[in-house]
Amino acid sequence: MSTYTNAKELSNLALGKATSYCSQYNPELLQAVPRSLNRDSLELTSKNLPFSGEDVWYGYELSWLNAKGKPVVAVAEFIFPCTSPNIVESKSFKLYLNSFNQTSFSSWQQVEDALIKDLSATAGAKASVKLFPVNDCPALSLPTDTALCIDDLDIEVNQYQLTPEILTTAHKTNAESVDEYLVCHLLKSNCLITNQPDWASIYIKYSGKKICHESLLKYLISFRQHNEFHEQCVERIFCDIRNFCMIEHLSVFARYTRRGGLDINPFRSTTDEKAPKLRTLRQ
């Protein structure tokens, strides 16, 4: 079984190590992390995933030179299917994007093609890439959102290490069946390698027996000192809610704040829908 402990797949990552920055295009900077390092502990394999979904990243620090040597800047949307065998390690992603800075490309399309080719090779599945002018990226607008925020519930909290068992009190068999759309802005976890804090808003949409909001909030807060990558936290939340609560349909979407010019937004769902076009003020 693959686990994080002494995993050779993590030993050679640039993450957490002193790094020199390259400003000439270099796809070899990209590094992959197998999704199985997380999924084995959840008893998930590529053949029995209980969800569909995707990881949506936005890059805010992408620049290159045009054919005349003039700098071009763009905002990039990167989408990886959750069925890809690998995730792209985020520090290597930042270093890779930085390598475009002093490289000349003939067109935006040439840049997009290079990104698709390199990121697909690293993830092990076809990546989607779209480039936008910095003043015109519709996906990063701030639409009105209807999710019910559970942050203001008056609860007492004493658990800051991941405790999925909190969800055993999150439902009652005689509870009413509901359709709910909830959000919590209190999610914090820590990077698996560097222990740096990762901040996110977590959106949960479900149909089924009503989930106790207080228990759900305590559970989400219990990630506060938990170390795991963004994508893996979201899959854990999805699986825990599915395992402990009586739900029929479930979608979990995390909007993480950016670090180093990238934000990562994993979406997992029992349906085959795509991630919502959503952005928060903290992003």
Q: State the DSSP string of 61-80.
A: EEEEE-TTS-EEEEEEEEEE
Distances in Å between the Cα of 158 and the Cα atoms of 155, 162, 168, 219, 220 are 10, 12, 17, 11, 12
**pLDDT value of residue 7:** 67
Kindly list the structural domains of the chain, giving each domain's residue range(s) and its CATH number in brackets, ordered by start. Answer: 21-140 (3.30.1130.10), 148-269 (3.30.1130.10)
Residue 179 has pLDDT above 50, yes or no: yes
Q: Is the pTM of this model over 0.75?
A: yes
Span 95-101, average pLDDT: 96
Which of 13-22, 101-110, 149-158, 178-187 is predicted with the least confidence, judged by mean pLDDT?
A: 13-22
pLDDT tens sequence across 203-240: 999 999 999 999 999 999 999 999 999 999 999 999 99
Distances in Å between the Cα of 142 and the Cα atoms of 72, 87, 172, 261 are 25, 27, 36, 19
| 171 vs 166, more confident | 166
Residue 78 has pLDDT above 90, yes or no: yes
- The SS3 call for residue 128 is strand
**pLDDT value of residue 40:** 86
Residue 19 has pLDDT above 90, yes or no: no
- The share of the chain scoring above pLDDT 70, in percent, equals 93
- The share of the chain scoring above pLDDT 90, in percent, equals 77
Residue 182 CA to residue 83 CA, distance in Å, equals 26
Could you please report the per-residue DSSP string of 212-236? Answer: PHHHHHHHHHTTTT-B--HHHHHHH
Span 61-74, average pLDDT: 94
Residue 1 has pLDDT above 50, yes or no: no
Distances in Å between the Cα of 242 and the Cα atoms of 112, 152, 170, 183 are 37, 24, 11, 17
Residue 183 has pLDDT above 90, yes or no: yes
What is the bridge-based pairing of β-strands 177-190 and 148-149? parallel
**pLDDT value of residue 2:** 46
Which of 13-27, 50-64, 143-157 is predicted with the least confidence, judged by mean pLDDT?
A: 13-27
Neighbours of 267 (CB within 10 A): 26
Q: Exposed (0-12), middle (13-18) or buried (19+): which is 157, by Cβ within 10 Å?
A: exposed
**pLDDT value of residue 198:** 94
Return the active site residues: 191, 198
**pLDDT value of residue 4:** 59
User: Mean pLDDT in the chain?
Assistant: 92
**pLDDT value of residue 75:** 94
**pLDDT value of residue 55:** 98
Distances in Å between the Cα of 143 and the Cα atoms of 10, 33, 180, 187, 236 are 38, 33, 19, 21, 27
Alpha helix stretches (DSSP H) within the chain: 8-11, 36-39, 90-98, 108-123, 213-221, 230-244
**pLDDT value of residue 11:** 58
Query: For the chain, how far is it from start to end, CA to CA, in angstroms?
Result: 36
**pLDDT value of residue 6:** 61
Strand order in the sheet with 177-190: 128-132, 71-81, 52-65, 262-269, 247-256, 197-209, 177-190, 148-149
pLDDT tens sequence across 4-13: 556 666 656 6
pLDDT tens sequence across 107-164: 999 999 999 999 999 999 999 999 999 888 888 888 888 999 999 999 999 999 999 9
Span 237-266, average pLDDT: 96
Taking every pair of C-alpha atoms in the chain, what is the biggest distance, in angstroms? Answer: 69
CA atoms within 13 A on the CB side of 72: 22
